Structure formats: structure tokens, C-alpha cells
Amino acid sequence: MDEAATLATIECRKCPSSSKDALFWFRFNDPDEKSRRASNGIQSTASPEDGTVADKQVEREQWSGKLDFLLSVVGFAVDLGNIWRFPYLCFKNGGGVFLIPYSIMVLLTGVPLFYMELCLGQYYRKGAITTWGRVCPLFKGIGYCVILTAFYVDFFYNVILAWGLHFLYTSFSFNLPWASCNNTYNSDACYEPHWSDDGTAKCRSANQSVSSEKISAAEEYF
């Protein structure tokens, strides 16, 4: 038997022998079917000789303990916004009164939506766009909005991080820039506070009785 006949025989063995086998092989090679099997942790191997497919359940990774999962979730949820932006929002919206509607909305919407996002991510093991597309093709836009929102938030978060690095770098200098009025940006109202000040000559009193308004060097710097 020559080489051409041998190759033809091998190709015929790979072909399905019946319509049922052809349908099965079509579903096996379908991209959506492969993606579904991969998301469910199923690894399929096909035998070209007899056209059979063997499914093997792939063992999914597990957390070593509840503490590891809790710390991972906290690291994902708690960011710079909780440390820096939340106190600012409380101050701008009435102080402690703001905590009442905030706590109600967190319990009613924030925690359930956050838990739903965790469950969908663990079940599908995909990104934001693909996960919402698996739930419903129309929901794929939610994934795009989530990524776009994170992209826009990164702009001012990076600025805040740059401020922190700048303050950390300048704090190592011997003469702190916010401790004196000898800088180009200082105004005529700038003053350098000292422990010996009586609190009236250079500072505004509590009842605003002093007419000349002074601003400390630290206030002008920050």
C-alpha cells in the first residue's frame, strides 16, 4: 500500500460513520459547547479511531480556608475609596447623619449585589464581559460599563496615590515645605505658627473678633 492510500485510510477513520456520530462530532467541535464544558470544569478528549469522546472532570481549585477567602474578598472590596473618599463624602453630606441612608443602602443593595458578583465569577470563571454575556447576551453591556467605570475611576485614584508618594518623599527632607512661608506659592497672609503664639495676633479667634485673617503655612501647602 502506497503512502497516498495510507493517508486516505487514516482520514476515513477520522470521519464519522453515521449521522448520529456526525451530529455528536459537530457539537463536540462547536466553540460554544467547548466553552460551556470548560466553564463547568469538563475536559474532553476524542479518539479519532472510533469517534468516541471521553469526558474527564477537572478538579477545581479550592480555598485552603475561610480566612484566605475572607482576606481576598476584603482586598478586592476595600480600596482607597473606603479610606480617603468615604470620610470626605460623610463630611460633605451631613456627617453622622449620612451613615443612616448609607448603611441601609449597603444592606439592601450593596451586599447582595457584591455577593451575586462573587457567585457569578466563581461559577463561570470568566471576566466581567463574558460572565454577564453568559447570563444573558443583552447583559454584556453591564460588563463593558463595569470596566469603563473602573477605567475612569483609575484617573483620580492615581492622582491621589501620586499625592501620597509626593508627601512621603518631601517628609524626608530636613526643612518641610509646609512648615515655612518662604515658598513661591505663599501669600501675604501666610504665617508660621509657634508654640509661643498667644492665639490672637496671628490666628483667628473662635468668635471671629480678629479682623486680619491669617493662613498657616501648612494650610496653604495642602
In three-state secondary structure terms, 137 is helix
**Type of residue numbered 107:** L
7-16, 71-80, 113-122, range with greatest mean pLDDT? 113-122
For range 67-81, the mean pLDDT: 80
Q: How far apart are alpha carbons 15 and 34 in whole angstroms?
A: 20
Residue 18: Cβ within 10 Å count: 9
pLDDT value for 43 = 55
Helical axes 128-135 vs 140-170, angle rounded to 10°: 160
Which pLDDT value is given to residue 83? 78
Report the C-alpha gap between 6 and 10 in whole angstroms.
6
- Least Cα distance to 119 among 142, 139, 135 occurs for 135
* pLDDT(44) > 70: no
In degrees rounded to 5, what are phi and psi of residue 44?
-110, 140
Query: Would you state the cell numbers that stand for residue 200, as one nine-digit string?
Result: 490672637
* Count of residues in the chain: 222
Residue numbers belonging to the annotated binding site for Na(+) = 75, 77-78, 82
Question: In this structure, is the dihedral angle defined by the CA atoms of residues 59, 61, 65 and 70, taken in order, positive or negative?
Answer: negative
Least confident of 3-17, 32-46, 81-95, 163-177: 3-17
The pLDDT of residue 54 is: 55
Task: Return d(Cα 144, Cα 137) in angstroms, integer.
Answer: 12
pLDDT digits (tens, 9 = 90+) for 88-134: 888 888 888 888 998 999 899 988 988 888 888 888 888 888 888 88
Kindly give the residue spans of alpha helices, DSSP state H, lying in the chain. 3-14, 19-28, 31-39, 66-77, 80, 86-92, 99-105, 111-124, 128-135, 140-170, 217-221
Q: Domain map of the chain by residue range?
A: 3-57, 71-170, 174-222
| Cβ contact 167:197 at 8 Å | no
Q: What is the pTM of this model?
A: 0.52
Question: Each residue of 128-153: pLDDT tens digit?
Answer: 888 888 888 888 899 899 899 888 88
- The reported pLDDT for the residue numbered 107 is 93
At 194 the pLDDT is 67
In sequence order, the 6+-apart residues with CB closer than 8 A to the CB of 69 are: 63
Among the listed residues 79, 68, 24, 80, the one whose alpha carbon sits nearest the alpha carbon of residue 50 = 24
Mean pLDDT score of the chain: 73
The mean pLDDT of 60-69, rounded to a whole number, is: 79
Q: What average pLDDT score do residues 5-11 get?
A: 44
pLDDT at position 21 is: 54
pLDDT at 73 over 50: yes
**Structure confidence at residue 195 (pLDDT):** 59
Binding-site members are 75, 77-78, 82
Nearest-10 crossing angle of helices 111-124, 128-135: 90
Residue in the block written with cell 505663599: 186
Say whether 45 sits in a helix, a strand or coil.
strand
> How much is the average pLDDT of 187-211?
57
Is the pLDDT at 19 greater than 80, yes or no? no
Which pLDDT does position 34 carry in this prediction?
60
215 and 189 Cβ atoms separated by less than 8 Å: yes
